Structure 1
Amino acid sequence: MDPRKHLFLDHNILAIISSKRRVLFGFVIGIAASILVVYLLASINTSGAFPRFAFPRSNDSVSASYLGNSSSLSCSSLTGENGTATASANCATITATLEGNFSEPQSDLGSEKAHQWSHVNSLSSKLDEIKKPLFDNISKNATDGLGVGRSNVTTRLDGDFRVKIESLQNFSVRKTDDSDVSVEAIGGDSQMKCDIFDGGWVQDLTKPYYPPGSCPYIDIDFDCYKNGRPDDEFLRWRWKPYGCDIPSLNATDFLERLRGKRILFVGDSLNRNMWESLICILHNSIKDRSRVYEVSGRNKFKIQGYYSFRFEDYMCFVDFVRSPFLVKELLLKTANGSENERLRLDLLDETMAAYHHADIVVFNTGHWWTHEKTSSGINYYQEGNHVYPVLDVMKAYKKALTTWSGWVDRYLDSSKTQVVFRGYSVTHFRGGQWNSGGQCHKETEPIFNETFITKYPKKMIALERVLRKMETPVLYLNISRLTDYRKDGHPSIYRKKYNSEEELREAEKIQDCSHWCLPGVPDTWNELLYASLLMEGKGPWRK
């Protein structure tokens, strides 16, 4: 054989082999590069290099949120016009949990900077930031959740604080008939569209939920219509979250989901305001209203200040128990026959016996912590046998909330009882307080200029810190901002009927700018409670 041919053959074979090697080598390099890219992307999502989260501002703060080991509730759209839910909602969750030692921010409540409500921005699809932090001087805390979902991706932030980023869900609420509203997961999205507690008031001529003067269960102090309030424009407003809608409260559906169960409101007279509102909304939907009645002479709950209404057709109860501080009030008689009031910051109120029997418990406290005795804190607060000569009211408030949260974590079964905490309802006294000439008389429309909105209440800051550390999932209704707009919704002088012009003039000296007329603003609180329970989807509130 010609050696040149042999060499030529070997050369061709080598060329082919070399070519195949180059292709194979390029293929291997491509695979390796792809794996590296995937690895880097995964590392970005779970490493300490993840963008830092900060608390939302007061207006987007932990919305209808689960603070503790849970999720908040936010949707881009729950309902269409006229209460018919047609649009989808983008819901997201970022759940914060405490692990190890977490140090509080340097500044305490007394030195918090002034913060105004502001309009919420959306969460970017890549979660590169949560805009508009709640406290400009707090950088290393994390939000507790801005939506609904599950995915269990955990990211470490500064210190030992961890944020669980849960999958983003779309939800839609569809009103299928007069008695059925369903919440349905329809996929995922990467952008949180709406916080249902961040929005504004829009006129709605279909409001209120029940005609003024039609509900026999409203306290005379809240029944502005019967007490002669001449205007009714304040009733024609609906809360609309920015960029989305929430469903109207379907009373028949609410009762059906409450069938055989009990909802209990616990707190001060503002929660009584909300309780009466819910009774009236539900009562108005019943055809035979004789089937709704107040339960009296009950042996099960022999508690002073306990009120219960039964809806016979649904075998359910809507109850209220008075506990303005949530912790135990004491009235002690001295040797000379006088009485001393004390507040036991380390003991829960005896009304706690009723909490176990409720399927939903809606707590609140706040307004009684502004009274003179609680504010001065002189020989008033007690822990164990120790009576504080003087104790700052905010420190006492935090101690009381810690006692409450510890009891809830220890004694309430969250698989059986849905715990809800309604936030602080803002007052609108001008020119003084309730007992010093403060007024809100002749206010006929909401605040529209946000520069007039007040600072975020310090009590809410303290409350959110306590809720955040709880083991029990707490559904948090942050209604502070939406109430702040409604300077027109208070009873003011219309707390009673007046027999003369002189009585009416005298009434202007002491006005009620804390509570709310019914029908009125508390109807919206219950509307938001209803939407939040649907979005959470627990037990009978599932689809």
Structure 2
Amino acid sequence: MVSITNLLKEPRHSQFIKKLIPWTIYALLPIALFRLYFHPVHLPDSPIHRTPQIIASSSSSSSSSSSSSSSSLSPPHFSPSSVHEEEEEVNAINETPCDYTDGQWVPDKLGPLYNGSTCGTIKDAQNCLAHGRSDLGYLYWRWKPHKCSLPRFDPSKFFHLMTNKHIAFIGDSMARNQLESLLCILASVSTPELVYTSGEDNKFRRWNFPSHNLTVSVYWSPFLVDGIEKSNAGPNHNELFLHRVNEKWAVDLDGFNLVVFSIGHWYLHPAVYYEGDDSIMGCHYCPGLNHTEIGFYDALRKGLRTTFEAVIDRRGSSSSNELGIFLATFSPSHFEGEWDKAGACPKTKPYKESEKKLEGMDAEIRAIEVEEVEEAKGRAKQSGGLRIAALDVTKVSLLRPDGHPGPYMHPFPYGNGGVGERVQNDCVHWCLPGPVDTWNEILLQIMNSWEQQSGL
């Protein structure tokens, strides 16, 4: 038998071998490519491909409103579009909820969602454009969560979710501020009809959008629980009955499909607290009265707990309509100086995250509100068709010192050409259009996630 060594020594076979080697490579190359295509080699994850650690309880990530806006917050050395798409893909796969509280304000070329000068429903003191505010930079910012996107408000989507339904804003002037924002946004595509008004300063109002039979109401109830508000003619303190809710809104509970509660600022005022019709628990800032000073934190917590207990108990487990309850968390003020001693809010740009931290009273109030929402969510599981969530807007609002009316709570405060010795500023409420519109964008995204989970 001829050995391989001898065979290779023969010139004829040597030529054959030289041809055989490249033919073999050509045959194996497509097989290798086919194998690599269907079974790729997995390399270790780079930081940009790791699953984001998102820790909140609201809604799923949604698509960005524009590619240009999402590029403004792109990490360095990575394509903005690819980073954004990667985050959304990861969130979608893992159904990770979006933490709308973790973000910052970024420039927005698109500007406001509506024209405040033609809206027709804005409270006069918050109509900054009509009152002559000329520094319009505050209108060109949008809130950008770090781990997900927050699309612009889509009125058609809101109407789809709320056709033949009733949404009520219940609480203090922050509830009214948010209500008027929503009305203006919706009125940009459909005209509402005012169908009911009552109370001093129109504190109880109701609108209907005939195009979708959507009812929108506002109820003045600055404590949510029953209370007697201080007045110029009476005592200079509020009286709160923390053991029972205010029936002015509670009596209509069965007719609501969605409720947004908003309280906080009125709890800062002097008050006497009752834990029974004739039993005084204590007071807050009540010199001259023979009551124990207990501050307002415990009263706020008890007022919220009473409110949620009333909602859950009255709903029971046999209600046919589904009900969503939101509590809008505390919206900090931005007075530089005492509010009643020429305090002002002169800033014209949002704070950066590193410039302003949530702390002190603002942080404590928000913590109480979030804790009470979580406690109520646990009890609400036994009540069919009831959802409870925090509309956590505290940080969103904290970083916007430029969004208040300031001196423009009055028309043309500097109309005489000079700055007066003292001009009263409003550094609590929000210009419309303004930052409060973002509250409704977050609200809609949570509603949208609820529909995706089980239908609102």
TM-score of the two chains, using structure 1 as the length reference: 0.60
Is 1:436 the counterpart of 2:334? The answer is no
- 1-structure distance, mates of 2:419, 2:367: 39
Residue 405, structure 1, aligned to residue 308, structure 2: yes
From 263, 274, 285, give the equivalent of 2:178.
274
Contact 1:381–1:396, Cα closer than 8 Å, also in 2? no
- Cα distance in 1, alignment partners of residues 234 and 445 from structure 2: 49
The offset of 1:508, in angstroms, is 4.6
Task: State yes or no: 1:329 paired with 2:227.
Answer: yes
Identity level (%)? 27
Could you report, residue by residue, the CA deviation over 1:345-366 in whole angstroms, capped at 9, with x for unpaired residues?
Answer: 1110122112221100011111
CA separation of 1:541 and 1:493: change in aligned 2, threshold 3 A: farther
1:366-419 residue CA offsets vs partner (Å, 9 max, x unmatched) = 111122x13xxxx45453311231332111111111211211221136862111
Q: Give the aligned residue type for 1:522.
A: V
Deviation at 1:187, TM superposition (A): 6.6
Indicate the residue corresponding to 1:486 in structure 2: 400
CA deviations 1:445-469 (Å, max 9, x no partner) are 1012524333152111112222222
Corresponding position of 1:162: none
Higher helix share: 2
Residues 330, 393 of structure 2: 8 Å contact kept: yes
Helix, strand or coil for the counterpart of 2:160? helix
Write the distance in 1 (CA, Å) between the matches of 2:428 and 2:275. 28
Alignment of 1:217-228 (within 5 A): 217-228=121-132
Structure 2 residue 332 is matched with structure 1 residue 426: yes
SS of 2:148 mapped into structure 1: coil
Give the direction of change, closer, same or farther, for the CA distance of 1:504–1:256 in structure 2 (3 Å limit). Answer: farther
Q: In structure 2, what is the equivalent of residue 458 of structure 1? A: 364
Q: What is the aligned partner in structure 2 of residue 6 from structure 1?
A: none
Residue aligning to 2:295: 392
SS at match of 1:523: helix
Distance 1:278 1:187 in 2: 28
Change in CA separation of 1:81 and 1:467 when aligned onto 2, cut-off 3 Å: closer
Q: Which residue of 2 aligns with 1:93?
A: none
2:124 partner SS:
coil
Is the CA contact (8 Å cut-off) linking 2:155 and 2:189 kept in structure 1? yes
> Do the aligned residues in 2 keep the contact of 1:498 with 1:504 (CA within 8 Å)?
no
User: Is the Cα–Cα contact under 8 Å of residues 125 and 410 in structure 2 kept in the other structure?
Assistant: yes
Task: Indicate if the aligned counterparts of 1:477 and 1:529 stay in contact, CA closer than 8 A.
Answer: yes
1:491 offset after TM fit, Å? 0.3
Aligned 8 A contact 1:197 1:478 in 2: yes
**Is the Cα contact below 8 Å between 1:267 and 1:365 reproduced in 2?**
yes
Counterparts of 2:454 and 2:351, CA distance in 1: 37
Contact 1:308 1:318 in 2 (8 A): yes
Instruction: Answer yes or no: is the 8 Å Cα contact 1:83–1:248 preserved in 2.
Output: no
> What amino acid does structure 1 have at the position aligned with 2:310?
W
Q: Does the 8 Å contact 1:193/1:243 carry over to 2?
A: no
Secondary structure of the residue that 2:402 maps to in structure 1?
Answer: coil
Which residue of structure 2 aligns with residue 11 of structure 1?
none
> Which residue pairs with 1:189 in the alignment?
94
How far apart, in 2, do the equivalents of 1:295 and 1:539 lie?
Answer: 34
| Contact 1:257 1:540 (8 Å CA) reproduced | no
Give the letter aligned to residue 354 of structure 2. Answer: E
Residue 348 (1) aligns with residue 245 (2): yes
1:488 is paired with a residue of what secondary structure? Answer: helix
CA contact (8 A) 2:373 2:389 kept: no
Whether the aligned pair in 2 keeps the contact of 1:208 and 1:519 (CA below 8 Å) is yes
Larger radius of gyration: 2
2:177 match: secondary structure:
helix
The answer (yes or no) to whether the contact 1:258–1:540 under 8 Å persists in 2 is no
Q: Structure 2 stretches of 5 or more lacking a match?
A: 1-53, 71-86, 283-290, 381-386
Once residues 285 and 516 of structure 1 are traced to their aligned partners in structure 2, the CA distance between those partners, rounded to angstroms, is 23
What is the match of residue 193 of structure 2? 293
> 1:199-278, aligned counterparts within 5 Å?
199-278=103-182
Letter matched to residue 390 of structure 2 = Y
Letter in 2 for 1:246: L
Gaps of 5+ in 1: 1-59, 64-71, 87-169, 173-184
Q: Is the 8 A contact 1:346 1:403 kept in 2?
A: yes
Find the counterpart in structure 1 of residue 58 from structure 2.
73
In the alignment, the residues of structure 1 paired with residue 435 and residue 200 of structure 2 have an alpha-carbon distance, to the nearest angstrom, of: 31
Change over 3 Å in CA distance of 1:73–1:492 after alignment to 2: same
Shift of 1:439: 1.0
CA contact (8 A) 2:197 2:206 kept: no
Shift of 1:437: 2.5
Is residue 83–residue 247 contact of structure 1 (8 Å, CA) maintained in 2? no
Checking the alignment, whether the CA contact within 8 Å between 1:430 and 1:440 is kept in structure 2 is yes
SS of corresponding position for 2:253: helix
1:532 corresponding residue in structure 2: 446
Give the deviation of 1:540 after TM superposition: 9.1
Structure 1 vs Structure 2 CA RMSD: 3.4
C-alpha separation in 2, matches of 1:232 and 1:238: 14
Q: Residues of 2 paired with 1:239 and 1:503: CA distance?
A: 35
Q: Is the 8 A contact 1:493 1:508 kept in 2?
A: no
For residue 515 of structure 1, report the CA deviation from its aligned partner: 0.5
1:383 partner SS: coil
2:197–2:205 Cα contact (<8 Å) kept = no
